[in-house]
Amino acid sequence: MNPRLSRLALPALAVGALLVAIFAVMVVRFRAELRAEIRRTIIDRDAAVLRPVALRQLAQREAALAGQSAGPADLLAAVLESAQQEDMLAMVIFDAQGRVLRVAPESLLFAELPLDDYLRLLKLESISRYHPDFPLDRYFLGVGGPPEQRRTPVLEVLLPLHGRDAAKILGFAQYYINARPLAQELAAIDERVNRQTAATLGIGVLLIAAVVTAAYFGLHRAQRVIAERNERLIRANFELTLAAKASALGQLTSHLMHDLQGSVAGLRAVVAGRGANGGAAGSDWEAAAGYTERMQAMIQETVALLGDTASQTSYELTGHELAAITRHRNAALAVEKGVVFSVEGGFDQNLDSHRGSLLCLITSNLVQNAIDATDAGRRVGVVFHNGDGAVKVTVADEGHGIPEDLREHLFEPGRSGRPGGSGLGLAISRLLARQIGATLALDATGPAGTSFSLTLPLGD
């Protein structure tokens, strides 16, 4: 795994897990509150239905007994008579002081009004309680059978009762209602709420995962861009440093070349004189004279280039002239190494002397590297051509290729595949190419050989 990805993965997972945990807690809490509110509304529904019915029965009984000496017990009896329904398990009528007046059926064992309920009923509040597992055998006589039949869901409802004068409480009614339909309804609602909660959690987790994943890859992309820009800044700083050193080296080289030019000319005259005297070592002196002549030519070329740059002398070179110069400069080295050397192509466009000289210098460096890497009898070829608004020079050899561990750092100083090499040639060549707006790149390398290309865009 990419180290940058692994460093970002753990924080992203931690943030995602934290968001999922927070979201899950909020959803579960909301689910609990919603479930409780729905259950409370449904449980209070029967009380809301029973209360107006009971008050209407009281009003009708009060109107029927108008002018008669009827007490609260006679009025409350109407409520008891009207409550005989199929789902009604039991009913208790209390007077205004909370004492039991009537019980139906008489098999009900416990009939009392707790103080807390009594105080709430005095405030004209209705009370509903759902008992999911009501023990019938503890509240009614004669209840038998298996244990599961002695327990059932029961809804308990307490209502305050009053006549036309709402401020005058006549008594209270307590209902025990069979709540099996209510239990089924509550179970269905719980199942629906649970499904909605699970769906909400699933969708929320997926959305959080998508957001965290997008943020993770966005952060990784930003980190990669920053790393690439930082790398480019480091490389630019290195190239600026190298350019400054190259500038200082150029000035120093200019002085050294002027000093060496006279010394090498004298050395050549001495070596040539010794070779003319003959003798057993005459051939060796002749070879030394040839090397000295080549050295002198190189010094003169460097001095000319430095002199043109310093004096801002400018002239033009065609592509065919550049090809001829390249052939002339490197033919001797190819013959000495036994390498078949060829220069092909050319172009008619003119280049100024500065760009043309540097183009030849870079090409010669590539050719010399190619000849060094090629065995005797094999080929090194240079092709000059133009197209698409640019000049392209290709240098290809039939050497053994560049080692894989050097390819990524090929243009960095200090990296060389030759024993004793400094690794400066390609680094300086790329720097010189950039100074004239050209691009130096490795096209291909392998056991069959290596190919470099130098591309110089042509100006208007």
Query: CA 277 to CA 289: how far, in whole Å?
Result: 13
Whether 114 has a pLDDT exceeding 60, the answer reads yes
DSSP character string of 323-376: HHHHHHHHHHHHHHHT-EEEEEE--S-EEEHHHHHHHHHHHHHHHHHHHHHS-T
Residue 141 lies in a domain: yes
User: Which H helix or E strand runs over 262?
Assistant: helix 180-276
Residue 322 lies in a domain: yes
Domain end residue (candidates: 118, 151, 178)? 178
Tell me which amino acid residue 195 is: R
**Which residues are CB-contacts of 183 (< 8 A; sequence separation ≥ 6)?**
132, 153
More confident residue, 283 or 51: 51
Query: CA 283 to CA 261: how far, in whole Å?
Result: 25
Residue 387 lies in a domain: yes
Segment 268-281 mean pLDDT: 58
pLDDT, position 207: 92
pLDDT, position 22: 93
Domain end residue (candidates: 115, 146, 178)? 178
**Which residues are CB-contacts of 318 (< 8 A; sequence separation ≥ 6)?**
346, 347, 348, 349, 350, 351
Query: CA 144 to CA 136: how far, in whole Å?
Result: 9
> What residue has token string 């709420």?
193
Q: Is the pTM of this model over 0.75?
A: no
Whether 252 has a pLDDT exceeding 50, the answer reads no
Look at 66-70, 229-233, 392-396, 437-441 and tell me which has the smallest mean pLDDT.
Answer: 66-70
Residue 414 lies in a domain: yes
Query: CA 82 to CA 73: how far, in whole Å?
Result: 15
Query: CA 235 to CA 459: how far, in whole Å?
Result: 27
**For position 384, which CATH number holds?**
3.30.565.10
pLDDT, position 21: 92
pLDDT interval class at 108 (50, 70, 90): confident
Domain of residue 331 covers 315-457
Domain end residue (candidates: 161, 178, 195)? 178
The percentage of the chain sitting over the pLDDT mark of 90, rounded to a whole number, equals 26
Residue 391: name the closest of 354, 446, 442, 351 by CA: 351
Residue 154 lies in a domain: yes
| Tokens encoding 82 | 């009207």
Q: How many domains does the chain have?
A: 2
pLDDT, position 416: 61
Residue 264 lies in a domain: no
Is the separation of the CB atoms in 400 and 424 below 8 Å?
no
Q: Crossing angle, helix 180-276 and helix 425-435, to 10 degrees?
A: 100
CA distances from 341 to 37, 329, 397 (A): 94, 11, 9
Residue 73 lies in a domain: yes
Query: CA 12 to CA 215: how far, in whole Å?
Result: 8
Evaluate the omega torsion of the peptide bond into residue 181 and state whether it is cis, within 30 degrees of 0: no
Whether 204 has a pLDDT exceeding 60, the answer reads yes
Rg of the chain in Å (alpha carbons): 53
